Structures are given as structure tokens and as C-alpha cells.
Amino acid sequence: MKLYSYFRSSASYRVRIALNLKSLPYEYAAVHLLRGGGEQLSADYRRICPDGVVPSLVDGEAVLQQSLAIIEYLEETHPNPPLLPDTAVDRAYVRAIALQIACEIHPLNNLRVLKYLKHELGVSDEAKDAWYKHWLDNGFAVLEARLASDSRTGSFVYGDTPTMADLALVPQVFNALRFKVDLQPYPTIQRIYDEAMRHDAFVRASPEQQPDAE
Amino acid sequence: MKLYSYFRSSASYRVRIALNLKSLPYEYAAVHLLRGGGEQLSADYRRICPDGVVPSLVDGEAVLQQSLAIIEYLEETHPNPPLLPDTAVDRAYVRAIALQIACEIHPLNNLRVLKYLKHELGVSDEAKDAWYKHWLDNGFAVLEARLASDSRTGSFVYGDTPTMADLALVPQVFNALRFKVDLQPYPTIQRIYDEAMRHDAFVRASPEQQPDAE
């Protein structure tokens, strides 16, 4: 398999964790989101991924996009270790947490949106940082309340082994730390992040460990 | 089953289509997103859904959130008719299209984001409309190119029966039409929307058919 990835991309990071947890070796192809107006928009990369987004996973003839769709694919084609629970209700719970992060926090905080705020709307750096923090805090407050009260929470989001929800959570925490968001109001989130960072599959997937890290 | 829904919520609309396609009867509980500062944030609704978002689906003891997680749950518990294809690669394709809409278009255009632009950032109505149109056009351009060129496109996104991808697409088109976005550059998207609107399951799920429609 070959993964087109950018070291700091949260969506790429999710897939790297999944590949590591499932012990699937892969070739790393760096796509620099800032260099040359964004290599993801280059003609070369658009031949792989017309959408011009990372990550893309190439598996034989198949070229797959969208991190959560890729993770579901890996789960179906390489079921062990599982990244989803055994029951439909619990799978829905884990998927809902992954989607809350992927649909309600991350899209508002990614690079192209922050760029639009700055360049098209002329928003100050201060207001841009407040925007970032607003959506992050909104989402993390909801998530912290849920994780702190749900009996399914263990050393990871669901029990004591990583699921798809942790694959979404850990990159979002990394991102928040990079933007200097105070995590003190989110002790359960912080604890799960710290736990994940003791696991080799998460450490090897982290941005600073990638070949294109700066 | 009981669905907490707002007639105009795209995410609620997705789940309503899924329930109709699978011929699952359900009780409709309206949650008004604008009335009283947003009924989704009320103490009553927060007892059902602490996150304060719609939709929520109650099935026996289970309370489920996040439209795509709910649709996966319905697919697992009521597999017929299927809303995902037979092969892992094609399931990834359909999920990726649903996620492209749910993660890259819809989060930037939903009510609370448009409100933040207006009230917190003091953006003009004109700039707010341009923001809406920018992310919609960005996402639809990518999707149109894909649908127009992929051999899997039929009368629906994937072949000639509806999948999870159509459940994401149709509400997004409804939303775009409401914001008076010109769909002429997107003939394949328009054609699929028109096809869907000839099907009872889609028509009965549409906002204007809901008990809380205004």
C-alpha cells in the first residue's frame, strides 16, 4: 500500500495510526500542503486524487479517499485487531465520536478555512485564533462531558484498546496543542491522549516522526 | 424508533431518507433550532442528547447521534435494502462521497457557523453568502468531476439504487437551492437530485413534508 500524506494533516495522521495498529506496512508519499501553492493541487497529485486532498491510500488498483472511509476499508479488509466494537450500538457510539471530531471540529480548523478567514475575510490573527479556539472548545467540552460520564470509557475512548474514535481524537489533540489550546478543562481527553502516546503505533504515526516532518 | 429532528437540518434529512428507504416507521420529535435560542440546547433535549445537536435516534435503550453513524447502525440492524455496495472498495467509494459532503461542505455552511461569521466576526451578509457559495462550489466541483467520470455513476451516485452517498447529496442540494446557488455547473448532481425526487422515500423525507415545516 502507498499512503499520500502530509505530516501535519490530521486526516493523514488518523490513517497512519490505523495502518500501524493493524501492522500494515506502507510506502509513504509526502504531499506538501504549503509548498508551491499546495502540492495537493498539482497536476501530478491530481492524477492520483482529483479532489486534491490528503490522504489518499493506494491499495492495488484501488485509490481511496477520506480518512474515515479508508479506516472502514482497512477494518473490513484487515479486521485484526478490530478498531470497532462488537455490537451495533457500540459501533454507532464509537463512530459518532469519530464523526463529531471529523465533522464538527476539524473542518472548521483546517488550513484552507483558516486561510480563507485571513485572506478573503481579512480577519485578524487574534480573531482567527479565537475562531480556532471556539470550535475546538465547543467540541471538546461536549466530548469531555461524554467521556467523563459514559461507563464505556476506559484507558481509551471505548474500553482499554484503541478504536476509530481514538484515531480521530489523538490528531485533534495534537492539533490543539500546536495551537496552544489549554487542555486543563478536558482531563479525560488529556488522559486518553497521554495513554495513546505510550503506544508505539501512535508514536510512529505522529507528525514529527514522518519523513516530511519539518 | 423515535427521531429527534429539525425539518431543515441536513443531517436529520439524511436519516429520514434512510428510515424511509428501509421502511422503518418512526415517531417524529421536532427540535426547533431557532426558537427560544435553540431548542437543541434546552435542558429537556440535553437529557436525550447532551451534545445539543440533531438528529438523535432512539431505538429501545440506545440513543444514537451523528447522522452517518446512525445510518451505519440502520444498515447493520436492518440490512435490506442495502445502502452500501457489496465490495469493500466500492463501500469505501460510497462512504468517501458521503464524507466529502458531511466533512468538507456541510460543516462550513451550517447554521451555527453562519451565525458566528455574522455576530462574532461582523461579516456582511454579502461576504457570508460568498463564504457559503465558496465551500459549496469547491465541494460540488470536485464531486461533479468525479460523478461525471466514474463508471459507477448511474441514475444515483452508485448505480441505479440509492446509497449512503445519495442520502448525503440530496439534503446538500436542497440546502444549496435554498441559498440560491446556481447548479448549472453541476449537471450530474442536478440529474441525481431530480431522480431522487421522483422516489417516495426521498419526497417524504424532504423538509417541507415534515410536521415542523414552516
CATH code, B157: 1.20.1050.10
Q: How close, in Å, is residue B69 to chain A by CA atoms? A: 5
Check: CB of residue B198 under 8 Å from CB of residue B174: no
ipTM of the complex: 0.97
CA–CA separation, B12 and A93 (whole Å) = 17
Rounded to an integer, what distance in angstroms lies between the CA atom of residue B23 and that of residue B25?
Answer: 6
Integer Cα distance of B100 and B97 in angstroms: 5
Q: Is residue A29 part of a domain?
A: yes
d(CA A20, CA A42): 28
Range of the domain at B72: 2-81
Q: What is the pLDDT of residue B212?
A: 94
Residues B37 and B52: their CA atoms lie apart, in Å, by: 12
Per-residue pLDDT tens for A173-208?
Answer: 999 999 999 999 999 999 999 999 999 999 999 999
Is there a domain that residue B212 lies in?
A: no
The CATH number linked to B45 is: 3.40.30.10
Same domain membership, residue B116 and residue B69:
no
Does residue A12 sit in the same domain as residue A38? yes
Strand partners, A58: A2, A63
The strand pairing partners of B197, in sequence order, are none
- Which secondary-structure segment (H or E) carries A63? strand A62-65
Among B66, B55, B73, B47, which Cα is nearest to B12's? B55
Asked if residue A141 and residue A54 are part of one domain, the reply reads no
Residues of A with CB under 8 A from a CB of B: 50-53, 62, 64-66, 68-70, 72-73, 76-77, 88-89, 91-93, 95-96, 99-100, 102-104, 106-108, 113, 116-117, 120-121, 123, 127, 130-131, 134, 142, 145-146, 149
Q: Is residue A113 located within the same domain as residue A148?
A: yes
Residue B138 grid coordinates: 469547491
Is residue B207 situated within a structural domain? Answer: no
Q: Which residue has the cell 471505548?
A: A158
Question: Phi, psi (5° rounding) for residue A61?
Answer: -80, -20
- According to DSSP, the residues that pair with A56 across neighbouring strands are A4, A65
Cell of B84: 452500501
Give the sign of the dihedral formed by CA A115, CA A116, CA A117, CA A121. positive
A190 assigned to some structural domain: yes
- Is B62 in the same domain as B29? yes
Q: How do the pLDDT tens digits run along chain B, 214 residues long?
A: 999 999 999 999 999 999 999 999 999 999 988 887 788 888 888 888 888 889 999 999 999 999 999 999 999 999 999 999 999 999 999 999 999 999 999 999 988 899 999 999 999 999 999 999 999 999 999 999 999 999 999 999 999 999 999 999 999 999 999 999 999 999 999 999 999 999 999 999 999 999 999 8
Boundary (domain end) residue, out of B53, B81, B109: B81
Q: In angstroms, how far is CA B101 from the centroid of its own chain? A: 8
Cis peptide before B55 (omega within 30 of 0): yes
The residue among A29, A49, A81 that closes a domain is A81
